[in-house]
Amino acid sequence: MLPISKAQAEMHKQMLSTSPSGKLFCLYPEEFTYKEMKPDFPAKMQESNLTSMVLFLKRMDIAGFRHCEFLSRPAPESLMQALEDLDYLAALDNDGNLSEFGIIMSEFPLDPQLSKSILASCEFECVDEMLTIAAMVTAPNCFLHAPSGTEEIALTCWRKFSHPAGDHFTLINVFNAFKQASTNSAGQYCSNEKWCRNYFLSCSALRMAEIIRAELVEIMKRIELPISEPDFGSPGNILSIKKALLSGYFMQIARDVDGSGNYLMLTRRQVAQLHPFSSYCNTRRSPEWVLFHEFSISEDNSIRVVSEISPHLFVELAPQYYFSNLPPSESKDILQEVIDHLSPVSAIKEKQKTNSDNKENEKYPQTPTEQRCIIQ
């Protein structure tokens, strides 16, 4: 079941009365429509990330964004941000063109950050698990809105899949349980539907995740990337998954600034709360540092699909030039202290090297092509 507003119900009734042919079925009682439905849902704002579109245009050799005939032209700042994000993900070379890594990323019909995480999982030997995560976050949300009066029952069912490491790992548990239920059932279609109803899960969303995962496996085989054996649950595997996720999502980190679930995102001065479907909402513990899959303004400023990370892991995997461009904040100061504590000698050497390089550049200025690519 999906929630529906009064406005949508009225529209359905009008279609039913004016439809010249065919049939429309109302799957909710009329009294429920008017007593318990909200008058209308708030308009969903356009929150699309342009990074995928820009990567596609780069792959198609359409580099002159000023001359593209967009139906709705995005703001120049949004295009600039998308280019900057691709640069952080190592998808661009020093000339602003797609790098070899960026070309491989563009083979996946996914968000570039998710593609980067899959490619990183080849190094950390957790490809099987990352493919499942990618399929689950790409498919529609598998958690259904529980009917009125059954919210606590639904939460109890979902707790069976909760993983202490975070929502990404919870999604793996859900997918594996769904696959196990499919294997154990004789009449697969009916049993899957019944199993999903019992756990307040969307069977269609989980089937879509199966299809997406199978397509991703085919892409991995086509471009000859290794697929590691499943090892979900071992401590080493959990750490590897977090490293793979951070390799792509280091730009989507938030910190609980007051210990009450108010998360301040590192890249913007905006506070968000955990999405109600997060497994952390069913516990009394809110992690201090989290990696999140997406941020939604229209859903009460919430971050969705979050997993706990450590600041030590962040400073290990986030590019230094990305960290240096973060806006000043208390969170950045904490991360800087972690860097200084981990390698005080290396930090001093790096500072000395920077000073030496600056003096060298003053004596022998670099040409524009020798400098790091500046996105224009």
pLDDT bracket for residue 369 (50, 70, 90): very low
pLDDT: is 356 or 259 the higher one? 259
Asked whether residue 112 carries a pLDDT value surpassing 80, the answer given is yes
pLDDT bracket for residue 296 (50, 70, 90): confident
pLDDT: is 191 or 115 the higher one? 115
CB atoms within 10 A of CB 144: 19
- Phi-psi group of 159: left, alpha or beta (phi > 0 → left; psi -120 to 50 → alpha; rest → beta): alpha
How many whole angstroms separate alpha carbon 69 and alpha carbon 345?
53
pLDDT digits (tens, 9 = 90+) for 319-354: 999 999 998 999 999 999 999 887 654 545 545 544
Region 106-113: mean pLDDT is 94
Q: What pLDDT, on the 0 to 100 scale, is given for residue 317?
A: 94
Whole-Å CA distances, 112 to 35, 94, 129, 245, 328? 44, 19, 18, 12, 26
Q: What angle do CA 268, 269, 270 make, to 5 degrees?
A: 95
Q: What pLDDT, on the 0 to 100 scale, is given for residue 374?
A: 29
Transcribe 114-126 into DSSP letters: HHHHHHHHHHHT-
Q: What pLDDT, on the 0 to 100 scale, is given for residue 68?
A: 72
The 3-state DSSP class for residue 254 equals strand
Region 152-173: mean pLDDT is 93
pLDDT digits (tens, 9 = 90+) for 57-108: 888 876 566 667 777 777 888 888 899 999 999 999 998 889 999 999 999 9
In this structure, the strands spanning 253-256 and 289-296 are antiparallel
Q: Mean pLDDT across the chain, nearest whole number?
A: 81
